[in-house]
Amino acid sequence: MARGLLLLPVFVALYFAVTAIARAVSTPEFIVTGRVYCDTCRAGFETSATEYIEGAKVRLECKHFDSGAVEHSVDGVTDKTGTYSIKLEDNHEEEICEVVLVESPVAGCSEVDAARNRARVLLAQDSGLASRLRYANPLGYLKATPLHICGALLKKYALGDDK
């Protein structure tokens, strides 16, 4: 009986060690989230007139660092707030991962903003980031015809005519 009590702390320590090792080698799951918007003023960034797009299609692509070959590809769709959330398992430390625009469901706002068409995200387990949640920069489409309020709005941002 006394021998069993002496071994109990050893078994408890062994249990916790095995549990810690299992967590360390478990497959990480990353969640990449971001937003897709319609640049209603063609400003090149979000403004107070920006509209977020529901139903926009995006793709998370991870390309091998050396070869450039696509190793992983996962599609996502935005909700009513223009937000997408994409899950991807495994460690991608030898890959460059980016969220890219695929398609806008909004007629009159489907021109891809070349400066806002992709957002790079780091999906490496040993990145120093505690959370598995990754926030991608916003992605944008340009409205074909700017809203009538855009001139005054851009002047508020000191981006209007310098006259």
For residue 91, give the 3-state DSSP assignment. Answer: coil
CATH number at residue 53: 2.60.40.10
Please state whether the predicted TM-score (pTM) of the whole model is above 0.95. no
List the domain range (segments joined by +) for residue 67. Answer: 28-156
Domain assignment of residue 161, yes or no:
no
**β partners of residue 141:** 38, 112
Residue type, 7: L
Q: What is the rounded distance in angstroms from the CA atom of residue 63 to the CA atom of residue 68?
A: 5
Domain assignment of residue 17, yes or no:
no
Domain assignment of residue 14, yes or no:
no
Domain assignment of residue 6, yes or no:
no
| Burial (CB count within 10 angstroms: exposed 0-12, middle 13-18, buried 19+), residue 49 | middle
In tens digits, the chain (163 residues) has pLDDT values of: 556 556 667 666 666 655 555 455 555 688 999 999 999 999 999 999 999 999 999 999 989 888 888 888 999 999 999 999 999 887 666 788 999 999 999 999 999 999 999 999 888 766 555 568 889 999 999 999 999 999 999 888 875 555 5
Domain assignment of residue 46, yes or no:
yes
What is the count of structural domains for the chain? 1
Domain assignment of residue 89, yes or no:
yes
